[in-house]
Each structure stands twice: as C-alpha cells, then as structure tokens.
Chain A
Amino acid sequence: MRVPLSWLREYVDLPATETGRDVQAKLIAAGLEVESVEQLGAGLKGPLVVGKVLTIEELEGFKKPIRFCTVDVGSANGTGEPQEIVCGARNFAVGDKVVVVLPGAVLPGDFAIAARKTYGKTSHGMICSGDELGMGDDGSGGIIVLPPEHEAGTDAIELLELVDEVLDIAVTPDRGYCLSMRGVARETATAYGLPLRDPALLDVPAPNSFGYPVRVGDPAGCDRFTARTVTGLRPDARSPIWLQRRLQKAGMRPISLAVDITNYVMLELGQPLHAYDRSRVQGTIGVRRAEQGEKITTLDGAQRVLDAEDLVITDDRGAIGLAGVMGGANTEIADHDEEQGTTDVVIEAAHFDAVSVARTARRHKLSSEAAKRFERGVDPQAASAAAQRTVDLLVLLAGGTAEAGVTEVIAPSAPRTIAMPADHPDKVAGVAYGRETVVRRLQEVGCDVYGQDSLTVTVPSWRPDLAEINDLAEEVIRLEGYENLPSTLPKPPAGRGLTERQRLHRRVGRALAGAGFVEAPNYPFVGEQVFDQLGLEKDDPNRRVVKLVNPLSDEEPALRTTLLPGLLATLRRNDGRGSHDLALFETGLVFHPRDEAALPARLPAARRPTDEQIAALDQALPEQPRHVAAVLAGAREQAGWWGKGRQGDWADAVEAARTVAREAGAELIVQQGQYGPWHPGRCAELCVFVEYADGVAADGSEGEIVVIGHAGELHPRVIKALGLPARSCAMELNLDVLAEAAEGTLRAPRISTFPVATQDVALVVDEDVPAAVVEAFLRDGAGELLEDIRLFDVFTGEQIGEGKKSLAYALRFRAADRTLTVDEASAARDAAVARAAEVTGAVLRGA
C-alpha cells in the first residue's frame, strides 16, 4: 500500500513539521512494515507553470518531427510575451493547456533548464511529460495536456501536487484494513494520539425496494451486496488532476473517470467496488457459484473456464464477473473515447468470503487489487459508505444523478465478541499494564469493551483478524510498544546436552577435517542421468528417487540417493578453478522412497492427531538416512623440500571410512567389493556387524553383517563421464547404520608392565587372499598373549612365485603376570601361523 503523506493528512491533523520519515518510524513501532519513504519532486525547482499553446510550426528536414511552438505562460516569464519552445512531442494542439518549465528551473534528477539552441531555433524552456516531472509513467509517453479550466501562468508544482512523500507499506496478511487510507490513518491517529476523521462516516440513505434488483443465491459466499445507480454521466467527463494524482501516487494508473472513482474509493475505504455499464447489464444481478465448465471473459481479455467453487456475479445471460476478483468484459464501462460512452452505471459494493476469493484467485492465477483485499478481509460495514462515496463522486465529477433506489442484501450476522481476562495481555507480555490501559488500548483499536476482571470485547468490523485472546493481547502490547518490553530469562530444567548421535555427527566432521578433508555441503538435487554416469545397474535401488513437482531446473528434478553426485561436482568445480589437490567431505541426508507408501491424510489442525495418525504421516515420507562421503583427487601429500609428494589413492578413501568408524566406536569390516562407481579391482565394501534389535534369531545368531558403503578408486568410465581428475577416489557410507554398530562404553585396557617379546613372520599366500583375513586368523591362533599385530610389508616377486604374495607381520607378545620366555613367545607365534595356514593356506616363508 502506497500512502501519500498529503492524503494521509486529510484524516489526521499531523503536526506540519512531521516528515515522512517521522511517520514511518511511528508506524513501524506500531507494527506496520513501512519499507520506504519516497520523496516525490525531490530537487524540483520552478518556474513550472501552466501554458496555453498559441502557435505550432512544424520544422522540416529533421530525422523526427519537431515543432516550434509559442506558448502563453502568463506573467511567469516576467515579460508576458509568448514563450518560444521547441518540442518533439505531437499529442497536443493549438489552444491546449500544457505544463511549461522555464529557464532557471530544475527538474527531478538534477535536470537544470536553460535556454538552448536546438534544431536551428532557440528553445526557452520545455513542454513537459509526466515522466519528466517524476509523476510516474502514465503509459502515454506524451506530454501532459491539462483540463482547459486552468489559467496560463498558474504554478504547476502546486497544481500537480508534485512535491510529496509516499510511504510504501508491506501489509501483512492479518492487516487487510491497512490496504486503505482509512486503515493507515487509524493507525497513524493512534500512534500520535490524535483524533481520526473517519472517511467511512457518511450519511447513507436507508435501503429500499426500488433499487437495482439483486439476488444473492449464496449468502455464505456473499453476505452483503449493495447496489446503487447513477444516471446521466457525461461520457466526456475526465478525472480531475487531484484525483489522477492521488491514484498515481498510490501506484495506480488513471483510466477513465468512473473506473478512477471506484479505484479511488477502494484506496480510501478499502472496499473494492465494481461499476457496471447499466445498458450492458440484462436483468437481475445475481451471486451464485459457477457451473463447472462455465466460461467468462474477464476484463483482462482472458477467457476463463470456471470451477464449481468459483463465486460469480451474473445477469440474465450468465456470468458477468468473478466475484471479488475481476469483472467481466461484457459489462465493462466504456471509455470516453468510444462512441457509445457510458452514461448510466450500477455500482456494486459487496462483501465476499475471503477463502472463496483466495481460492478463485489462486485457481485462475489472477491477482487483483480487489482479490488482494478480500483475501485479507474487508470491512463489511463499509460497503454502503463506499457505495455512497462513489455515488457522490460520480455526481460531483461526472454530472450524474443518483437514483433514489438503494439495494442492500445482507445476511444477518452478530458482532463478534471475545471474552478475555483483563490481565491476559499482562501475562503474555510479562508486564503489568493494568486493566485501564488494556481497555483504553483496545478501544483505540476500535473495540467495545465491557467488564472488570473478565472483559467482553466486541471487535470492530474491519478487524476480522481479531479472533482470539492473544490477538487482543498483541494489540495492547504493540500499542504500548514492543520496545518497552523488559528483558528476562526463563529457567529451563537442567538439560542433558547433545545426544550421542549429535555428538557423533560433530566428531565425524572434526575427524575428517583433522585428516585434511574440507567440508562441502551440496544441494540435494540430482538428475537421473547421473546414475548412468555413475555406472549404476538398471535395477540399482539408488535409481529409485523422490521427485519434485516443481524443481528449479528440469535437469535436476530428483532428490539424491547418494552424496556422490553433489560432492563430485564440487570436486570438479574446485579442480576447474585451479585447486588440484583436493580432499572433500560431506555429511547429509539422502532420500529413498519406501516400497509402499500411502499419501498422508489431510488431518485437521484443531487438535493433536493420534499416535497412529502421526505414524501414518511419517510412513508417507521417504526414508532419510544420514550419509557421510569423502572424495579425493591429486596429491594427498604434497611434494616439498622433504621429498616427493604422494597421490591420493584408494587406500586414503578406505582410511577416511576407518576414521569415521573409529569416531563411531564401531568395528569396520573392510572387504573386497564391486559397485558401480568404483574401479572393480579397487573397491572396498564397508560392513559392520549390527545386533538384531529383537534379540537372537532362530539360527542362534545375534546380529548380521550389513554393507554400509563403499570406498576406493573411482571407475575410469565414471571419471570420464563426470569429467573428474584421473584416479579420483571416493568413500560413502551410511552413518546411521554405522552408529548402530557402535560398541558402547569402552572398557579400559589392562596395561602389563612386563617386557614385550617380538616375533616377525612372513607368510606366503595366494594373491587373492585378503590380508585382513590372514591377520584375523593370526590373531585367532596367537591366543591371549598377543598384544598387537602389524602388517609391515607386502611383497610379490619371482622368489615368491607367480600368483603369490608374501605378507610380513610383526607380532608382539606380552603376559600380564610374568616375563615371557623365548619358548613361550615362539609357541604362540607357531600357533598363530598354524591357524592362518589351516584357513588361508599360508606357508611360512623360507620354511
């Protein structure tokens, strides 16, 4: 809502010194979002006067038509002689009244006017367009032609009200009444403690039976319909300057007198109005729901197919308007330029159901000034005043005659009252306002208030948003000033800090960052072609995606099922920007549709749903586990003065997974795997042992080994398809399942202080025997004297034999209660080797 300060002063006697910025501050404190104060005519300096065009000489020989004019500017130029002006516009004729700016003046935008030579003549000033005067574009692009009654030489700055301030207010959905001068004036009056001249307080004739016939078939959708008729309008009557200027400042374009008046009254009182050309309306005006598929052509020229829920205005032929949204083309007021100018109009001032209007506007993607107001709530009591005001202006400005008939169809309704304890605002605010203040503030809002400790509050008709006691509390608190609220701290019960899961998420981030990875959270939007690029099989479950109805990009309409697409894109972006040695990670949700889901039921919000209903809502949602992923490219260790660097490889990716698992306190099982995005020979399958939630299975097992992700070097095809650096590596795992495998509170190890006995063994096994398996059975066989085991070398070569590898382990033995003898340590070593040999076929090297 754009509110010209000059207009606002008509309803509230603000001190003359009060500026737009002052009013802005007051209204912001009262809860109106005044976004800006526009300074109209800033820097404007006269002389700027009314001129009468005396002669026009067309200048030939230029690329565009140019006119050399003489203009009578009265005595404004000091001589009284005609002013010679060169002008490029053509929309005026000899005798027209125009706006002339004289040398010495400054127009908005620091545009200084001086006599200057142009097109072979000297131009002593300029004939002005609306644009040049900062009046806003009127769409014509031409110069202003004034009504003939204004005298040449009259000051045009005052005449056109060029200097003003305009407050631009973003009206929140609860304050529909502030989409009117009346509403803003009320807030201003309250904020300043000044009386309000309410423009809706008009003498309105009582309804009678000889007004224009109206039949409301749907009183729920339309609880009030006022119709008035004005006849004998002068078709050539134009809107006076003041009216045009107010509309322009409020951001509307002047169109024709009748339309301008309905717009003006809407701006003034907040009541949307519609004027029908009476000669084009046939029979009774009706209000009903549309028939499914019924058609109407609206004022904007669009033909619209109606829904059975749309509320329409009708005449004998059918729909002539979308109620509260937009009128129909078939009863439109004719422009004064047209031959058949409108002389008789029927004025509609009605009140339509907010929800119905909102739905119709949304259904037809049709936002209008009227719909905007009805959606937010219009004062139903203002309808007859608004109709009266419209009639008055039509009579005054268009020479019309008001017919005596007054139609009012009103569905009975009682004023709305709210019972509120008098101290409720105090309790909400934490401030002792006291009953008197509460009552006074509510009265300022327009409420009638009765009662002592318990108040009965009748809310004003223009405040449909006041429905609950907290609404009333807000009115009191805002008028008392939010800035005056004290600052106190509540005392929550003692907390338990972060949950285990939350701690884990932080730890994982810190550990990976500590290992040199940089966190890069990515958008979860993906296109399905990325699954081809990642080399997923056709039936891979990760191809089942949740899709968006309205994605930002049609290229990426789905939600991720893996973190890799986003993270790899970021890897590529960084590489493209010249950072080639990269280690990135991300933790975040991925989204998997359930196998079977039922859409959530539409539940009411008036009460808590049952646990079953809530469970059903959750069941409609996709599964959203948290994953962690890491990617690497380029050097993991930089080359430097210390020596060579080291390329990041599959082992770094696996190590990232181990780092995460360590933080989770879970034992990670790493085994050879194969999965789409990864190099088939360099892919680790990451597993954990998860205990069954419900105890022991029938076969006696207490849990199962679950694959939670993969790590390794990416497949060369994937690297090519995604344009990644050669040998890029990646790891991704399901953090939620990993957390389930956590081993719980650690039991502290017992430390023996007896000496350690070290034994090295080298075992030769087939190349495809995993080192982890050999180690596991060495451990198994070594028994409890084994303190630690470490693989320190892997060797292949001729001495070992083709298809074989040698694994060298250092075994450390120690007893809790004694120094081990060499024989004891050797026996334990032999037992370890024997066990490994038994299971993996390992042979002691050199044996």
Chain B
Amino acid sequence: MSAPNKSYDPVEVEALKPEEIERMRDEALAAFVAASDLDRLQEAKTAHTGTASPLALANREIGALPPQAKAEAGKRVGMARGAVNKALAARQSELEAERDARVLVEEAVDVSLPHDRVPAGARHPLTTLSERIEDIFVAMGYAVAEGPEVEAEWFNFDALNIGPDHPARGEQDTFFVDAASLGAPAAKDADGSGVVLRTHTSPVQIRSLIDREPPVYVICPGRVYRTDELDATHTPVFHQVELLAVDEGLTMADLKGTLDHMVQALFGGEGMKTRLRPNFFPFTEPSAEMDMVCYVCRGESVGNPDRPCRTCSSEGWIELGGCGMVNPKVLAACGVDPEKYSGFAFGFGIERMLMFRHNVEDMRDMVEGDVRFTRPFGMEI
C-alpha cells in the first residue's frame, strides 16, 4: 500500500471521478451479462473484480486522497464494488443453474436396463420347506434332531417294534449295506450286515430318546431311502420330517392339536385342520393316517361339481402321512418308563408336500437339480 500522500491534489486523481467509477461499474455489469458460460464469467470476474481490475486499482487510490475526500470516494467505490459482486454472484448462480439443467439431462440413463451381471442363486425348495416346518416347531420349543443316514437295523427297525419277523419289515423296500464294504468281516449267516440306508427318520427319534431324558420334544428332518425307481411320483431318495413328543400325560388330542397347528402355520388362515383315520404302524399304538383340509378349496369342492378342485380331486382332504401314540414297547426299548411317560409322533414326506403346496407335477423336477426349477424358489419358501 502506498504511504499517505502529504501533498495532494484531488482533482488530479482521475480514476476517482464519480463518472469514472460509474463507468467501471457499468462495464463490469455489462461484461457479466455478456458472459454466456461459466468460463467466460470466470474471465469477466478476473477482469472486473481481480486485483488488477479498474475498481481494485481505484480502491487503492483512495489512500492518496486528502482525509476530507476519502470518505466520499471510499463510499462511492465501495458501492460500486458491492453492486459488481452482487451481479457476479447472481450471474454465477444463473449460469450454474443453466449448466446443471443441461448436464444432468445429458447424463440421464435408461433405468430399465437389466443388471443381471451375476444371476441370483437359490436354495433348493426341499431344503427351505423342511426348514420352514422345523421353524414352526422350534418356535414351540422343540429341538431339531439329526442322525446318520447309514443306520443300524436296530435303530431303523428293532427299536421301533419292527422285529425280524414283523410283516412290516419285509414291506419296507430297504437298501441293505454290504458287510465287507464296511470294513467288517463278512456276515456269518444270511442275516446280512445289520446296516441299512435308513428307510425313515424314525431312528433319529430313537436316538433322541436314548440320548435325552424326558420330556423330549424333537423334530427330525432328513433324507431317507427306499428301493423305488425314480418316476413321476417316486424317488428312491427322499426327505421326511418326523416329530416326537414324549412327556407325562400326552394324549392323542395333543397329537391332533399339534397337527392342526402345523397345517395352520404352513397354509395359513381359516378352516385349516387335520383329520385322523385309524391305521396301523408297528411303532405307534394307537396309529392313524393323517389328512389335512385341502388348502386350495378348503373342502368346498366336495359335492360341488361346479367347482371341482384339482389339488384334492374334490375329496376335500389331502393325505399327509402317518402318526400315532408312541408304542409303549418303543419307549421301553429306549429306556423310557411307559408307565410314567407317553408320547406322540408323526411323519410325512417333504417331496409330497412340496408337490401339492407348490403345484409340482413331476417328482423328477425336484431330483434333477435343473437350475430353471430351483432358481425361482430363492432363499425362503
């Protein structure tokens, strides 16, 4: 900054003449208006507000004025600079808005473009349906129990009151395991190795009863094996869920209530219930076959030819599986006192339930692992 000037002549300071200040201001305002884009405005800004701009230079001159002139010149220059800055800011935001409007439009995309870069995976519906059923019972306090798929006959048959000569033992289409391949000396007689592929998940119930003290409330999901050829309705490898409850004072009414709860939880809503029909199983006594109300027609197709139901063939009921009160002999085989405890059990096939719950028409679709079948089922069912 220049030092105060002791000998001065205000008349000689041309730049501070009022008309000069106005001219500078007006040139600046005109330049801003003339700037058609932000780059030009930047140039105009430098030219009219920068350190070398006329108004900046004029401002510097103020110091050289006599004290009585300083105030007025300062006021005049200050007002001019204020007007210039204001106009600059206004033009700046005007041009920015223009730019934004233009650029963001240019940057627009087609948001409907697909983005299947990594196609979604999925879990198999047999897995997720089984889990869904497990969860219903876990929520009630049951534990999920598992066991080996290659199983000793004692667990698969004997402990379940299916003795060596029981007619049911021959009826089960059992895969038998070769003794020598187990690393054991060959069997002495025609009895075989005593090891089979489990024909149901019931041996897991036996293991649960042997391992735990009552009360026992378990749900046993898993793979089971029978010597059926694969076709539209059969598969040699399939999945079951079985339930076992052993406690003091359990009744068939409890069995019925538990089944009713399950079908309500799985199929939801009004009118879902089960029906028991007497049947025979060696491991339960009394035994029953269980049906559930058709979840599609809810029984309304029965005797109503105008509204036939394909799901239940207008029977109103869908067969689910077998159930009953645990045979006291089974409890005894597991070291549970049948005088003190009673229990109920049921079991059904997951494939079958998947077929009618999701309208699967061919068993092979569930077996062959075609991604087109599995993908739509996603993570949960």
> When the two chains form their complex, are residues B369 and A621 in contact, meaning their CB atoms are under 8 A apart?
no
If A174-B280, A620-B184, A638-B117 touch, whether A547 touches B177 (CB-CB below 8 Å) is: yes
Residues of B within 8 A of A514 (CB): 121, 379
Task: Give the Cβ gap from A474 to chain B, nearest Cβ, in Å.
Answer: 3
Q: Enumerate A491-521 residues with CB–CB distance to B below 8 Å.
A: 492-499, 502, 506, 509-510, 512-521
Q: Does B78 contact A (CB under 8 A)?
A: no
Q: What 0/1 readout, one digit per residue, does chain B (369-381) give for beta carbons within 8 Å of chain A?
A: 1111011001100
In whole angstroms, what is the CA distance A547 to B121 when docked?
A: 34
**Any A CB within 8 A of the CB of B116:** yes
A473 interface hit (Cβ, 8 Å): yes
Q: Contact between B251 and A584 (Cβ–Cβ < 8 Å)?
A: no
Known contacts A548-B178, A549-B177; A474/B278 CB under 8 A: yes
The answer to whether A640 touches B116, judged by C-beta atoms less than 8 angstroms apart, is yes
Chain B CB within 8 A of A804 CB = no
Residue of B nearest to A514 (CB): B121
Shortest distance from the beta carbon of B321 to any chain A beta carbon, whole Å: 14
Given contacts A471-B285, A495-B142, A597-B183, contact A573 B370 (CB under 8 A): yes
Interface size on B, residues (CB 8 A): 112
Contact A600 B181 (CB under 8 A): no
Closest B residue by C-beta to A359: B165
Asked whether B185 lies within 8 Å of A599 as measured between CB atoms, the reply is: yes
Is the beta-carbon distance between A621 and B152 smaller than 8 angstroms?
A: yes
Contact A485 B276, beta carbon cutoff 8 Å: yes
Interface centre among A468, A470, A497, A604, by most B CB within 10 Å?
A470
CA–CA, A520 to B175, complex, Å?
A: 23
Known contacts: A488-B257, A594-B182. The answer to whether A470 contacts B327 by CB under 8 A is: yes
Which residues of chain B are near A265, meaning CB under 8 Å? none
- List, in ascending order, chain B residues with CB within 8 A of A521's CB: 124, 126-127, 369
Cα distance, A465 to B163, chains bound together (Å): 14
Counting CB contacts under 8 A, is A57 at the interface? Answer: no
Residue of A nearest to B207 (CB): A614
Quick check: B227 and A474 within 8 Å, CB to CB? Answer: no
> Which parts of B125-165 form the interface with A (CB within 8 Å)?
126-127, 131, 134, 138, 140-144, 146, 148-155, 158-159, 161, 163, 165
Whether the Cβ atoms of A489 and B261 lie closer than 8 Å is yes
- Interface of chain A residues 421 through 479 with chain B (CB within 8 A): 427-431, 468-471, 473-474, 477-478
A598 within 8 Å of B by Cβ?
Answer: yes
Smallest Cβ distance from B153 to chain A, in angstroms?
Answer: 7
Question: Is B201 among interface residues, defined by CB-CB distance under 8 A?
Answer: no
Of the candidates A489, A523, A546, A640, the one whose C-beta lies within 8 Å of that of B117 is: A640
Task: Tell me whether A60 is interfacial, beta carbon within 8 Å.
Answer: no
Give the complex CA separation of A477 and B256 in angstroms: 13
Known contacts A173-B168, A493-B215: A474-B141 contact under CB 8 Å: no
Give the residue of B140, B148, B177, B273 whose beta carbon is less than 8 angstroms from that of A487.
Answer: B273
The one of B115, B149, B258, B286 that contacts A490, using a Cβ cutoff of 8 Å: B258
Our pick among A486, A492, A570 for the contact of B253 (Cβ within 8 Å) is: A486
Q: How far is the CA of A583 from the CA of B118 in the complex (A)?
A: 10
Collect the chain B residues with CB atoms within 8 Å of residue A487's CB: 253, 256-257, 260, 273
Stretch from B37-45, B62-70, B330-338 contacting the other chain: B330-338
Cβ-closest chain B residue relative to A171 = B280
Q: Report the bound CA distance from A778 to B191 in whole Å.
A: 63
Q: Count A-side interface residues using an 8 Å CB cutoff.
A: 116
Partner of B161 from the list A517, A522, A605 (CB cut-off 8 Å) is A605
List CB contacts (< 8 Å) of B163-197 with chain A. Answer: 163, 165-168, 170-171, 175-185, 187, 191-195, 197
Cβ of B29 within 8 Å of any chain A Cβ, yes or no, is no
B305 to chain A, nearest CB (A): 15
Q: How far is the CA of A212 from the CA of B254 in the complex (A)?
A: 58
Q: In the complex, how many angstroms separate the beta carbon of A503 from the nearest chain B beta carbon?
A: 10
Complex: A136 Cα to B365 Cα, angstroms: 38
B279 within 8 A of A: yes
When each residue 321-364 of chain B gets 1 if its CB lies under 8 Å from chain A and 0 otherwise, what string results? 00001011100111100000010000000000000000000000
Question: What separation, in Å, do the CA atoms of A680 and B142 have in the docked complex?
Answer: 48
Given A483-B275, A599-B182, A477 and B252 contact (CB-CB distance below 8 Å): yes
Instruction: Verify B176–A520 contact, CB threshold 8 A.
Output: no
B263 vs chain A, min Cβ distance (A): 11
On chain B, the residues within 8 Å of A90 by CB distance are none
Docked CA distance A582–B375 (Å) = 12
B273 CB contacts on chain A under 8 angstroms: 487
Inside 8 A of A589's CB, which chain B residues have their CB? 148-149, 223
Residue numbers in B under 8 Å from A602 (CB-CB): 154, 191, 194
**Given A173-B168, A509-B127, CB of A498 within 8 Å of CB of B144:** yes
Smallest CB gap from B274: residue in A = A487
Judge if A740 is at the interface, Cβ distance under 8 Å: no
Chain B positions 246-275 with a Cβ under 8 Å from a chain A Cβ: 247, 249-254, 256-258, 260-261, 273, 275
Which residues from A are CB-within-8-Å of B240? none
A802 at the interface (CB under 8 A from B): no
Chain B proximity mask over A398-426: 1 for CB below 8 Å, otherwise 0: 00000000000000000000000000000
Cα–Cα distance between A516 and B163 once the two chains are bound (Å): 48
CB distance from B8 to the nearest CB of A (A): 55
What is the CB-to-nearest-CB distance from B193 to chain A, in angstroms, rounded to a whole number?
6
Q: Flag if B254 contacts A430 (CB, 8 Å).
A: yes
A428 to chain B, nearest CB (A): 6
Q: Is the CB of B170 within 8 A of A362?
A: yes
**A582 contacts across to B, CB distance below 8 A:** 371
Tell me whether B371 and A574 are in contact (CB under 8 A). Answer: yes
B177 A614 Cβ-Cβ under 8 A: no
Is A530 in the interface zone, CB < 8 Å from B? no
Residue A577 interfacial (CB < 8 Å): yes
With CB as the reference atom, state the residue of chain A lying closest to B197. A548
Stretch at the interface among A27-35, A200-208, A235-243, A700-708: A27-35
Report the minimal beta-carbon distance from B146 to chain A, rounded to whole angstroms: 8
State the CA gap A359–B192 with chains docked (Å). Answer: 15
Taking the complex as formed, is A641 at the interface, i.e. its CB lies under 8 A from any CB of chain B?
A: yes
Residues of chain B contacted by A107 (CB below 8 angstroms): none
Known: A429-B251, A620-B184. A492 touches B379 (CB 8 A): no
Instruction: Given A492-B141, A515-B121, A549-B177, output 6 extra A-B contacts at Cβ < 8 Å.
Output: A489-B140, A490-B254, A518-B122, A589-B148, A596-B183, A621-B195
18 A-B residue pairs with CB within 8 Å:
A173-B168, A359-B165, A428-B251, A428-B286, A430-B253, A482-B276, A488-B256, A490-B245, A490-B250, A492-B245, A513-B379, A579-B370, A591-B149, A602-B191, A602-B194, A606-B329, A637-B118, A638-B118
